[in-house]
Chain A
Amino acid sequence: MTTLSGKVNIVSDLQAAKKAQARLMDKIIALGYGEGPAFAIKLALEEGINNAIKHGNGFDASKSVEIAYNMSHQEVAITITDQGCGFDPGAVPDPTTDENLEKPCGRGIMLMRAYMDEVRFNEQGNQVFLLKRNIPDTCGISEDTS
């Protein structure tokens, strides 16, 4: 069984993020992930890394984002850590309530939770763990969205 693991450190720059995401997605596709799971992982990676750069590090060029991965044919686990002071994910308003529905931001965490099998933040709130299991012939949506 092929298992790939490693760490990538990127500066707080969206172009650097784009390149790192593309390299990770190449590995994931090469492991045989289908359209549905690959769609989900790509979306969650985009949201997680963007949050780290924008909200975590505040685009501070002196701060970096670490992306650690452990992937096999069975599952992909990704941990994204920024160097910000963290946040309380429980305090993020629900973007689907009527009063928040037309706000242009605040949907990233919700989408990560909808598309991944596990989404967990560390206590400080500067690290997110993402897990996606490779279940062929399923759509990207996970049944467990907790």
Chain B
Amino acid sequence: MRQSNPRLNVSSERDVTVIELTDKKILDEVSIAQIGDQLNALAVQKDMPKMVLDFSCVSHMSSSALGMLITLHKRIRERNGQLRLCNIQPAIMEIFAITRLNEIFQICKSRAEAMESLS
């Protein structure tokens, strides 16, 4: 099953919601609010949601985008779910490392590794 939201490509594999962020730049607050609303809506659709966020298209991110991801992570945890981030480009990975958020999020190299870690 594949759904297309304006800024996300959403598909289901087994019981996992796989979301590809389609924006190259997740910088401005307006876009971030839209993405956050869509992700949070997906997170509350199921109990114990399992979600993989694929960053392969993303080349720029701001601190507001990090905040949006933290909020999503908390929401998923509150519902006893699991979140994996994958395919993060080196420049973006650097932002996660500088902010130590690589210690909070479970970051996988590939979508396959992320799926494997959720099984």
Task: Please report A residues at the B interface, Cβ cutoff 8 Å.
Answer: 14-15, 17-18, 36, 39, 42-43, 46-47, 50, 54, 95-96, 101-108, 110-111, 114, 139-141
Contacts and interface: CB of A to CB of B under 8 A. Distances in A.
Interface string B64-77: 10111011001000
26 contacts: A14-B29, A17-B28, A18-B30, A39-B91, A42-B27, A46-B27, A46-B28, A50-B29, A95-B99, A96-B100, A101-B100, A101-B104, A104-B67, A104-B71, A105-B63, A105-B64, A107-B67, A107-B99, A108-B64, A110-B63, A110-B98, A111-B62, A111-B98, A111-B99, A114-B98, A141-B98
Contact of B62 (A15, A47, A102, A140): A47
A54 B67 CA distance: 15
Contact of B60 (A15, A43, A96, A107): A43
Contact of A105 (B67, B74, B91): B67
Interface residues of B, number: 24
Contacts of A114: 98
Contact of A108 (B63, B68, B70): B63
